[in-house]
Amino acid sequence: MATPDVPNKDLFHVTEAVWIIAPYIHRSYPAVERQIYRGIESGQIEARIVLGRKMLPRAEVQKIINGEPA
């Protein structure tokens, strides 16, 4: 499968990232969401809080798509 098109924006809410990533890696949406939140809590995934919401920089979404963090 080709690499998904990641919209050209600086930050993504976790839910947006899940909708981009899950179909590409063939995992369920809840499983990907849990994995992202665990990665944020463990420090493997960089996230910012904007207006009370956890947001992922575009580079982090790309890293997840490319298989990082494991």
* All structural domains of the chain with their residue ranges: 11-65
pLDDT, position 25: 87
Q: Above 70 in pLDDT, residue 64?
A: yes
Tens of pLDDT, residues 20-59? 999 988 899 999 999 999 999 999 999 999 999 999 999 9
DSSP state of 69: -
For residue 5, give every residue at least 6 positions away whose Cβ sits within 8 Å of its Cβ, in sequence order, or none: none
Runs of H (alpha helix) within the chain: 14-25, 29-42, 58-65
Judged by DSSP in three states, 55 sits in strand
pLDDT, position 10: 94
Judged by DSSP in three states, 38 sits in helix
The Cα 16–Cα 32 span in angstroms is 11
